[in-house]
Amino acid sequence: MANVYGQDLTRSQSITWRVAHVIMTSAAKLWFRYEVHGRENLPTSGAFIISPNHRSNLDTPLLPVIRKEPIRFMGKASLWKASRFADWFLTMLGGFPVERETADRSAMRLAEDILERGETLVMFPEGTRREGPIVEAENMFDGPSFLAGRQQVPIVPIGMAGSEEAMPVGKKMVYPRKIVFVIGEPIAPPEQNENGRVSRRAVKEHTEVLRSRVQDLFDEAKALRS
């Protein structure tokens, strides 16, 4: 897998991302009247993790609207298996598959490799799509905080509102609903101990900080939609 998905972005992949950025920006402006607030909070150099709330299958395809530079992302493996075109296109966008509901160590290693190279990685802290206005603590995964601690990179929390209304869970129709992104200030990674490790407790506490911040930004995004 590493030879296929975990390699450096090729020139073709970078071009594909920029083309997707132009297309998605234009389409989303017309169909979703999208807004992005807080773009200045995105670091201009170095690796970092983007962690938004997750309410719709639209969330990942819409991410190109927040910045021109490529963003690497992981997605459920079934998306890559859907067709040869899906496999090619998602990989060309810089994505890589993860087996959900399992400890997919190979995907985590790929994520670490991406961060080590100074790239940007998306990780949804809720793991999969959820419904409703609350980012529940019991639905949070420690993956983003764990990787942030291992690689000592910041996490940029994002609140996304409107995608659930535009494409609800279980629906295939995409409705013209306003979508708002609110990008928060970077959260410093959990501190490492003298052995260069991050304790499980520190990761758990960091995950709660992330959850609280994503909830605040989600609330802010919802308010800006009204």
> What pLDDT does residue 199 have?
94
User: Three-state SS for 134?
Assistant: coil
Q: Of 4-13, 77-86, 106-115, 180-189, where does mean pLDDT reach its minimum?
A: 4-13
Q: Which residue has the higher pLDDT, 27 or 1?
A: 27
Q: Which helix (H) or strand (E) covers residue 72, if one does?
A: strand 72-76
Length of the chain: 226
pTM of the model: 0.90
Model pLDDT for residues 153-172, shown as the tens digit of each residue: 999 999 999 999 999 988 88
Reading the block at residue 17, the tokens are 């991302």
Q: Which residue has the higher pLDDT, 44 or 61?
A: 44
Write down the H helix ranges in the chain. 2-5, 11-31, 59-62, 77-81, 84-92, 105-116, 143-151, 163-166, 200-225
Task: Judge contact between 207 and 126, C-beta under 8 A.
Answer: no
The CA distance from 30 to 27, in Å, is 5
Q: What CATH number does residue 198 fall under?
A: 3.40.1130.10
Number of structural domains in the chain:
1
Q: Which residues pair with 30 in a beta bridge?
A: none
Q: Which residue has the higher pLDDT, 25 or 78?
A: 25
Q: Which residue has the higher pLDDT, 94 or 147?
A: 147
Pairing of strands 95-98, 72-76: parallel
Alpha carbon separation from 13 to 21, 109, 172 (Å, rounded): 12, 20, 27
- Domain ranges, residue 119: 2-225
- 60 pLDDT higher than 80: yes
Strand order in 155-161's β-sheet? 35-37, 180-183, 155-161, 48-52, 120-122, 72-76, 95-98
Task: Judge contact between 126 and 141, C-beta under 8 A.
Answer: yes
